[in-house]
Structure 1
């Protein structure tokens, strides 16, 4: 049977990743290949039964983790395919950047290990879901990237390579945050924003790029007011105004931006930058970290 160019590219990438696990991350792409095999065979309209049998049931452990965390089912994936067909057609183009992404992720992770020698580097599993989230990373479950979601976010960095590398670096920072993810359902605005902002700052240090290019236009001239509002809400457990409130078409998540600025303030004030980086990743007390950061609403950061 003749293999598609997509399948050949994914297989080549997967083999290259497995052959270099001693020097770089293992990137598991089998789930993407499997998904697009049934997608192409069904002209973009696989049945619920096909999705369940040929994609979900035989998926990698990373996909199974993603299914559990994101409540993905064959039924709701089929519904997403029917409602948002362009999302899955467009995602194919992102596969082309993955080989170069892998090379750059290796470089980013070398920098992470240099700054934080005990860093955990589990495999990356690239999967196809329902358009959200772009990435999930937890110490206990590893790292999963939603191909179609990351490709579709119009307000992210327009350079696809930069986008993938930065988001993966962000999620690898989450993998290191063993102290901050307990009882997430009860997190305050400050706790969640610092977790995300710390990961964003760590990703910038290790990848050299930012993924959230929308923050400049969204905050310019409003920095002090936004952060004053943040202080008023910092102890609230209603996160809806600060995180998880972006769509594919419109960026928000200003808690990430404020948390990033608090982490950056902490880092810039520190004499020992290596220890500061460790403190940012290992932060367990959000209020104490905020107090030590020197941050205040509207602070001017380089």
Structure 2
């Protein structure tokens, strides 16, 4: 099978005893105690009682954090236990980290500390979730969901939904649990990204690249095989999608609905960006620190790193210019055709005409720079699209002798998601 090779940095510092991570797996024992009692009775009230008293009430800080981050309720656990008995029976023998796996995790994190000496310590918690993550973080804690992270190749997927069957048949993180834990450990050191495709892809890709670099392992992300074999095609599509918020989940944490049909390709783009930056860096240790410590919530920092990496075909600004050239604009606002003064008071109908047809679904009106006091009342009634989607009308209730200002936002968009250039409407009514 095609594999992505990681660059391996000489780890001369391994002779120094590094601080070992704390690994906690007591929640797994508590889960199986609850599980056995739940399976012993058909009484749903008793089942809920056993789950609460034997598992949830005994939760470690890690399980509490996992439940909060993934919004696990008691019902999620009880439904999973009732629906998938074959799965749980096959998971049980491998559901708790072995001494060999714990050694693998500690060794990998020790190597991470060797290449990034500023690494701060984070506890690693193994707990049972309900199929929403194999690994995540919260407040400096690494949280591993064993039902997804410690499943073996013999896992029984009978009755599971298709997306879970696909996961278990294509991804075997238990075999490289050290790599998964190191990936999440890197996340505990990073600043969180904002809700943006590029920022999240770099956030995930940097964590994957550095964890592979430290562990001396290849990435086990299934989509990397497809991405490596179709790299230019994947990169080109990513460059087009950077400016489309609606497309983020085609690339990160979702089901890809574009023509590539592979999920999590954003991880690969971020990985290759980090790898290219690292290869080109004269000071490798500094490059590692820069990538881990980057402010992923700062747009200018993220785009600067993208440009400096040397991975993309064009600088961010050039890609943005291409996107801006495609955006629809407001070309006419009726009744402001003849000026913005002495607009009649009362209920006034406004009609916007666009340079390109829009999707006849998404709309958006917000306050202008002057704020709420200058925005008229715009009732829901009276809003209507033209048949061709190239104009949209709405009513506004206007008082005499007043200045009004409001914004037509970028929530208006074309069928492919290309967003309208925002437009501020500013006028004064007749006295």
TM-score under structure 1 length normalisation: 0.81
Q: What's the CA shift string for 1:108-149, capped at 9, x where partnerless?
A: 1121111211212211110101112000124x2411100001
1:83 aligns with 2:80: no
Root mean square deviation, CA, Å: 2.5
Q: 2:212: which partner in 1?
A: 204
2-side partners of 1:149 and 1:258: how far apart? 24
Whether the 8 Å contact between 1:167 and 1:211 is mirrored in structure 2 is no
Counterpart CA distance in 1 for 2:271 and 2:35 is: 39
Deviation string, structure 1 residues 11-47 (Cα, Å, up to 9, x no partner): xxxxxxxxxxx84211111100000112123337781
**Is structure 2 residue 231 aligned with structure 1 residue 223?**
yes
What are structure 2's unaligned runs of at least 5 residues?
Answer: 1-17, 152-166, 296-300, 315-431
Q: Report the secondary structure of 1:143's partner residue.
A: strand
1:292 corresponds in structure 2 to 308
> Is contact 1:77–1:130 with CA below 8 Å preserved after alignment?
yes
Distance of 2:88 and 2:217 partners within structure 1: 26
Q: Distance in 2 between matches of 1:252 and 1:31?
A: 31
Q: Which residue of 2 aligns with 1:256?
A: 267
Is 1:147–2:113 an aligned residue pair?
Answer: no
The 1:165/1:251 distance shift into structure 2, 3 A limit, reads: farther
Distance 2:277 2:268 in 1: 14
Q: Give, in whole Å, the separation in 2 of the partners of 1:192 and 1:216.
A: 17
Tell me if structure 1 keeps the 8 A contact 2:227–2:268: no
TM-score, normalised via structure 2 length:
0.58
Q: Which has a greater percent of helix?
A: 1
Q: 2:428 maps to what in 1?
A: none
1:220 CA displacement: 4.4
Q: Residues 240 and 293 of structure 1: is their aligned pair in 2 closer, same or farther, counting only changes over 3 Å?
A: same
Q: Which has the larger radius of gyration?
A: 2
C-alpha contact (below 8 Å) 1:193/1:243 kept by paired residues: yes
Which residue of the partner structure matches residue 222 of structure 2?
Answer: 214
Listed one character per residue, the Cα deviations across residues 260-287 of structure 1 (whole Å, up to 9, x for unaligned) are 0101010010011000111111122211
- The yes-or-no answer on 1:52 pairing with 2:52 is yes
CA drift of 1:97 comes to 4.9
Distance 1:253 1:109 in 2: 24
Is the contact between residue 262 and residue 290 of structure 1 (CA under 8 Å) also seen in structure 2?
Answer: yes
Q: Which residue of 2 aligns with 1:189?
A: 197
Matched, 1:281 2:292: yes
Indicate if the aligned counterparts of 2:209 and 2:274 stay in contact, CA closer than 8 A. yes
Which structure has more strand as a fraction of its residues? 2
User: How far, CA to CA, are the matches of 1:61 and 1:260 in structure 2?
Assistant: 31
Q: Which has the higher contact order (CA 8 A, sep 6+)?
A: 1
Secondary structure in 2 aligned to 1:240? helix
Quote how far apart the aligned CAs of 1:71 are: 0.7
